Amino acid sequence: MSAVPAEIAGIGSTQQTLRVSPSFDPLKAAVGPQEYFVLSRIDGRQTVREVLLMTGLPMDRAISIVQRLRALGALLIPGEMVGPGDPGATASGPPQAKDPVPGPPAGKSSRAENPAVRGGPLTGTPQGQATAKGSGAVAVMRSAAGAASSFATPPVLRRPPSQTSPPPETNHPQPQHDLSLPDATAVELAALAEDLMLDDRSRRRILAMARLADGRDPWALLGVPPGSDARQLKRAYFTLSKEIHPDRYFGQRLGSFTERLPFVFEALSRAYARLTSPERQRGAAQVDKAEQPQTPQEYAAELFERACQLEVSGDHLDAMKLFTAAVRVDPQPRYLRRAARCALASDQPRSAVEYAKKAHLLAPNDPSSARLLAAAFRAVGKLADAEEVLVMAMAIKSENDTLTSELRHDLAEVRRLLAQ
């Protein structure tokens, strides 16, 4: 890619920051997709140089697009209120805007550093105030424009210095949406053309976000790369909220945006909640665990082995904990039965019932499952249930005579207890 020139004809220094004219209507101007794209990169924060570099277009092509946009009145140089191509342009425009002369006036950069002027939101002419209220981006743009200005009348500070808004944050990327709205629908075009006090950039942002509001890609809706961390998500969420929350347009006539604004904001806050919820963070942790080479079945088998050893050694309580863990990973009837037995041995009949129920559910015709469940029911005093299970198990013929006699013995015992 060729180098960025220090200045370009019709614009001036590539170190200055341009912004989009609020009165510019891209629909009437009939610009193409590339122009739209470049226009969407101009956010009042990036310098011309940065914009030219980030378009990815050949340098001469990028330059000619910026020049064309400038000629169409889409771009404002710092200090201007209305662009040159605009029919409504008045004498308030600075001289170099009317007569494009290459080369920046001297002393610009030193002025830009003047802290007194960097203050905060500034009031401009009535036209400046007529731009959409509430958009943080617009307010910051205006302040940046004022800061670099060498011709505009001295700006008026609205707030004492202690109340200034935070300076534009440059240490983190702004949320990105495709503001060019490729293949815009008739509804979208109509929304862009509505006669409202809502600037084009905000409209485009809202429309672009509405396209992403279906919840399929929360990252894209927040305008951040997938996998961004909590801090990046929060910043994007806050930045976008400041642009599209209905409160930012309180009491204003919003046409079709009256419905669209809350709709988009709700989708945004849902996406944010989804991406930052503790479940998601836990989910992420689980994914990490699953990346271990062992399969869950292998892991469960290992836990089961260790539990068996503990059970043999008489440590029923610890054995049960391990069986429980094994069951959680791989709910096999065999594991469940062992867990139930350990629970009974370590005097935890309630857990025993739970495990035995599950085991019985998975292997209803296994008499040992039935026997264990009956024992668990007995332990919690549910004798009728115990009897029922045993009777059903007895009704099913089993090849295992020992077990049958055990069941018969258990049943007799339960019936004796019931009779008491």
Angle, in degrees to the nearest 10, between helices 278-290 and 257-276: 40
Q: Which helix (H) or strand (E) is 156 found in, with range?
A: strand 156-157
- Reported as half-sphere exposure (CB side, CA atoms, 13 A), residue 322 has a value of 18
Q: Are 213 and 264 in contact (CB under 8 A)?
A: yes
Cα distance from N-terminal residue to C-terminal residue, the chain = 96
Which region, judged by CB under 8 A, interacts with another protein, from 97-105, 133-141, 144-152, 287-295?
133-141
Size of the site for another protein (CB under 8 A): 56
For position 234 contacting another protein by CB under 8 A, the verdict is yes
Distance CA 167, CA 169 (A): 6
Instruction: Work out whether 164 is an interface residue with another protein (CB under 8 A).
Output: yes
- 169 contributes a contact to another protein by CB under 8 A: yes
The least distance separating another protein from the CB of residue 378, rounded to whole angstroms, comes to 16
- Positive or negative, the CA dihedral 368, 372, 378, 384 is negative
Shortest Cβ 350–another protein spacing (Å): 15
Which of 200, 311 has the CB closer to another protein?
200
Beta carbon nearer to another protein, 344 or 407: 407
Task: Name residues contacting another protein, limited to 242-301 (CB under 8 A).
Answer: 242, 245-248, 250-251, 262, 265-266, 269-270, 273, 278
Instruction: Give the residue from 256, 260, 190, 270 showing the smallest Cα distance to 222.
Output: 270
162 binds another protein (CB under 8 A): yes
Q: Which of 73, 85, 136, 333 binds another protein (CB under 8 A)?
A: 136
Q: Does 337 bind another protein (CB under 8 A)?
A: no
Q: Please give the Cα distance from 18 to 344 (Å, whole number).
A: 77
Considering only residues 203, 389, 410, 414, which one is a binding residue for another protein as defined by CB under 8 A? 389
Contacts (Cβ under 8 Å, ≥6 apart) of 279: none
Q: Can you tell me which of 9, 27, 189, 396 binds another protein, judged by CB under 8 A?
A: 396
Residue span 80-119 as binding mask against another protein, x where in contact by CB under 8 A, dash where not: ----------------------------------------
DSSP for 51-106, written as a single string? HHHHT-S-HHHHHHHHHHHHHTT-EE-TT-SS-TT-TT--TTS-HHHHS--SSPPT
Q: Among residues 80 and 199, whose Cβ is nearest to another protein?
A: 199
- Burial of residue 108, with CB atoms counted within 10 A of its CB: 0-12 exposed, 13-18 middle, 19 or more buried: middle
Residue whose pair of structure tokens reads 């940065």 in the numeric block = 50
Q: Which residue has the tokens 């609205």?
A: 158
Query: In the complex with another protein, which residue's Cβ is closer, 192 or 363?
Result: 363
Residues that bind another protein (CB under 8 A): 120-121, 123, 129, 133-134, 136, 139, 158-160, 162-167, 169, 234-235, 237-239, 241-242, 245-248, 250-251, 262, 265-266, 269-270, 273, 278, 357, 360-361, 364-365, 370, 385, 387-389, 391-397, 411
